[in-house]
Structure 1
Amino acid sequence: MKLYITNEVNNAFYNSQEMGLAKALVEKHPEHHVDIVMLSESVSKRQYSKLRAEVLGQDEAGDIRVHVLPAKGFGHHGFIELGILKELKADLVHLLADNMFYAPQVISYCLKNDIRCHLYIGTLFTDSSNGLKRAVSRVMMGRNLSAYRKVPVYAKTPYVLKLLKENGIEAKLAPVGIDPESAQGHDGVTDVLEIREHYGLPFAKKILLFVGRLEDYKRPLEAIQLLSDLADSSFHLLMIGDGELSTSLDERIKELGLQGRVRRIPKIPNSEMKDIYRACDFFVNFNRVEIYGMAILEAMVNGCPVIAMRAPGPEFLIDDGRTGFLCDSDEEMRRKIALLTRNEDLRREMTEKAREHVASELTWERTVELFEDWN
């Protein structure tokens, strides 16, 4: 169950963690089936009634079923009619709780109705740079933390595991993974030049890749500054994402005279991201409060070397100097880019070690074994 409200029906533009885990679960336990319950602003009550009739009428042999409910709530915090848990005859609720306001109600409902429940937590407090939002988040989380102590809790990262412990909650680590098919990386069938032509990218340039929401804490403006500071027209920047800083970003590009060296694409379907990683030369991440970083994981497995500012997520995912680079400053990031540009052997060795690390240690197959109450 995912309480975060999206504006999509099918998560086409994001790596679906819930689907990846569900596939690994039914592979490991073929006697189970999984119902994924999520909220969307794009589904009306009428559409949902039709969807629910179709889904609930399916044969029970279906291993995984997705239920998209019309959104209710405020911001990204969704509310849900919990009676659906009885309709679906839930034995265990795997709740993506994080800092969702309605999580305590779900826990209470499960406890009252003898439905087992555990939490899967990727963040406790907002990563917004807005001081007011952070303060409100801290206050709101008081009631959540009280509820979280009543059920088993699993953390997606060591950093969140540490935060939970500091707040009196004993949890176990179950890292976010990638599905086995994705862990094999790009199949290499599509030519890099074909990919670049398709997305309007220059053929004979070194391309830096930034993927993420254009919000302050992701620091997209620093990606623009990095490109400017490289002072080498052989480098270009591809930015995938949209958000409140999009106008400021375009203005900064003009101020620095970089119009011909930056390509911005608001959205690309997740199914096409393998091509993007393969077509780019470096993946850069500037988020200094990055909790995990699915895009980092995807870049590592698809042969795009990662150069990231130090943060909890990158420090967990990257073995500095072996499977990627961790940096403390923009200057250090420039040095690492220059190093990989002139040392193709190091680049090749680093990307291969990164892929091997993800494929062996960070797949959903490995993660599903860490949850102790599937049976």
Structure 2
Amino acid sequence: MLTIAIPQLYCGASGRKGAYNRQEVGLARAFAALGCRALAVYPDTSLSAPEAEDLEPNVRVLYLPARALAVHAFYKSWQPLLEEGVDAVHVMGDNSLGVPGLYRFCQKHGIFFYSQLGALKSDSRTPAVRLVMDLLLRRNLAVYRRTPTYAKTPAVAKEMESLGVSCAGVMPVGLDTAIIPMIPGTAAEVRAELKLDTAARYLLFVGRLDPYKRPMALPPLLEQLGPEWHLIVIGQGSLAAELDKAMAPYGDRYTRIPALPNTAVHAYYHACDVFVNLNDHEIFGMSLLEAMYAGCPPAARRAPGPELILEDGVSGVLADTDAALPDAVRRAAADPEMGPAAQRRVNEHFLWGNSAETALAMLEKKGVPAHG
């Protein structure tokens, strides 16, 4: 049985026990469903020895001792990969400083190394940090030029090619359907359960209320949509108070829920008419995928992620400017076929199983043997 490890090289909250929608775990489940053994590997700066957690048959989570430099993880030892009989590593390393060390370990021990990238250049707001990170990126590029490297979006594929990295293909991020709850009942019944007005139109925003998500575009959007529209915002962040103040004139047409259990958010996807994505530099958009999976059609500012995920006018509507957003929302709400089309789009192209199938086809073509 082929054993594949998916190590996280970012040292942050997303890999901790109990974290929602861990990409590595979702992909591990998909590999296991296709007959592999899969390990999601996370750094933990508090550990002195490895810890393991078996989630289900052939899906194991490893927490390994590590050091952190800002958000970059440096594992103290990759030896557990050998102890687990790992045949290949699926690396979502982007510009992480730990990529070259992992590559050298794999090269030394005959473990097949390949990548799935979501970004390369630094997105730091500090020019000096961007300069240093972009210089250090050269180390990763040397690895990516020698190994099969996939892009999460066509925009990243273009960036890779411009940096001399041959793109093996576009391999999008996927949804982990195992963590998505079933929401019984019709949209009207879900609204009644949530105590929402069954006659109103509801616009939904889910995400951090920070500048990069552009939540301050919401007040003028609601103004343009008119009195029949209500806005529900699920999120908190540095702009929360400013947004609440700007929304005060709209009274009960505006509801902000600072935090909800992630499973509870899905009820709102089912209850609302349109999901809005305002980030005009969105690399991907997991909330966008979740909304579409629930049949909530999206209106999104044009950006690499939404351009890849939705088919404009079919499974959602793209807006080139903020001024075009009200019409995009109305178009999404008016088309009864758009919600079902959004569901089909995600099911056919953006589940982790799609990525796992692509990876396994490549590993079979490369003749990667199972040793574990």
1:274 aligns with 2:266: yes
Question: Paired residue for 1:248?
Answer: 242
Identity of aligned residues (%): 35
Paired residue for 2:97, among 92, 97, 101? 101
Question: Do the aligned residues in 2 keep the contact of 1:121 with 1:153 (CA within 8 Å)?
Answer: yes
Deviations 1:243-264 (A, max 9, x none): 333343334334xx24533322
Question: Paired residue for 2:112?
Answer: 116
How do residues 293-304 of structure 1 correspond to structure 2 at under 5 angstroms? Answer: 293-304=285-296
The 1:315–1:145 alpha-carbon spacing in structure 2 relative to 1, beyond 3 Å, is: same
Paired residue for 1:14, among 9, 20, 33? 20
Partner-residue secondary structure (3-state), 2:358: coil
Distance apart, 1:131 and its partner CA: 4.9
Question: Paired residue for 1:221?
Answer: 216
Deviations 1:299-323 (A, max 9, x none): 1121111001111111111111111
Paired residue for 2:166, among 153, 166, 170? 170
In structure 1, runs of 5+ residues without a counterpart are: none
**RMSD between aligned residues:** 3.0
Paired residue for 2:60, among 51, 58, 65? 65
1:33 aligns with 2:33: no
1:153 aligns with 2:155: no
Question: Do the aligned residues in 1 keep the contact of 2:14 with 2:20 (CA within 8 Å)?
Answer: no
Paired residue for 1:352, among 322, 330, 340? 340
Q: Which one-letter code corresponds to 1:142 in the other structure?
A: R
Question: Paired residue for 1:24?
Answer: 30
For 1:158 and 1:251, the matched residues in 2 are separated by: 38
In structure 2, runs of 5+ residues without a counterpart are: 1-6
Distance apart, 1:128 and its partner CA: 5.2
For 1:11 and 1:264, the matched residues in 2 are separated by: 27
Partner-residue secondary structure (3-state), 1:78: strand
Q: TM-score, normalised by structure 2?
A: 0.84
Partner-residue secondary structure (3-state), 2:337: helix
Q: Which one-letter code corresponds to 1:34 in the other structure?
A: A
Question: Paired residue for 2:203?
Answer: 208
Question: Do the aligned residues in 1 keep the contact of 2:300 with 2:319 (CA within 8 Å)?
Answer: yes
The 1:9–1:359 alpha-carbon spacing in structure 2 relative to 1, beyond 3 Å, is: closer
1:292 aligns with 2:284: yes
The 1:360–1:78 alpha-carbon spacing in structure 2 relative to 1, beyond 3 Å, is: same
Distance apart, 1:97 and its partner CA: 0.5
For 1:270 and 1:175, the matched residues in 2 are separated by: 22
Deviates more, 1:235-244 or 1:297-306: 235-244
Question: Do the aligned residues in 2 keep the contact of 1:40 with 1:71 (CA within 8 Å)?
Answer: yes
For 2:274 and 2:164, the matched residues in 1 are separated by: 40
Question: Paired residue for 1:367?
Answer: 355
Question: Do the aligned residues in 2 keep the contact of 1:207 with 1:236 (CA within 8 Å)?
Answer: yes
Q: Which one-letter code corresponds to 2:363 in the other structure?
A: D
Deviates more, 1:112-121 or 1:262-271: 262-271
Question: Paired residue for 2:3?
Answer: none
Partner-residue secondary structure (3-state), 2:173: coil
For 1:221 and 1:71, the matched residues in 2 are separated by: 38
For 1:104 and 1:17, the matched residues in 2 are separated by: 21
The 1:308–1:133 alpha-carbon spacing in structure 2 relative to 1, beyond 3 Å, is: farther
Q: TM-score, normalised by structure 1?
A: 0.83
For 1:325 and 1:128, the matched residues in 2 are separated by: 30
Question: Do the aligned residues in 1 keep the contact of 2:307 with 2:318 (CA within 8 Å)?
Answer: yes
The 1:274–1:238 alpha-carbon spacing in structure 2 relative to 1, beyond 3 Å, is: same
Q: Which one-letter code corresponds to 1:208 in the other structure?
A: L
Partner-residue secondary structure (3-state), 1:320: coil
Question: Paired residue for 2:79?
Answer: 83
For 2:47 and 2:178, the matched residues in 1 are separated by: 35
For 2:86 and 2:315, the matched residues in 1 are separated by: 41
1:45 aligns with 2:47: yes
Question: Do the aligned residues in 2 keep the contact of 1:13 with 1:269 (CA within 8 Å)?
Answer: no
Distance apart, 1:325 and its partner CA: 0.4
Question: Do the aligned residues in 2 keep the contact of 1:300 with 1:351 (CA within 8 Å)?
Answer: yes
Q: Which one-letter code corresponds to 2:47 in the other structure?
A: K
Question: Do the aligned residues in 2 keep the contact of 1:37 with 1:66 (CA within 8 Å)?
Answer: yes
For 1:208 and 1:129, the matched residues in 2 are separated by: 31
The 1:190–1:145 alpha-carbon spacing in structure 2 relative to 1, beyond 3 Å, is: same
Q: Which one-letter code corresponds to 1:178 in the other structure?
A: L
Question: Do the aligned residues in 2 keep the contact of 1:26 with 1:33 (CA within 8 Å)?
Answer: yes
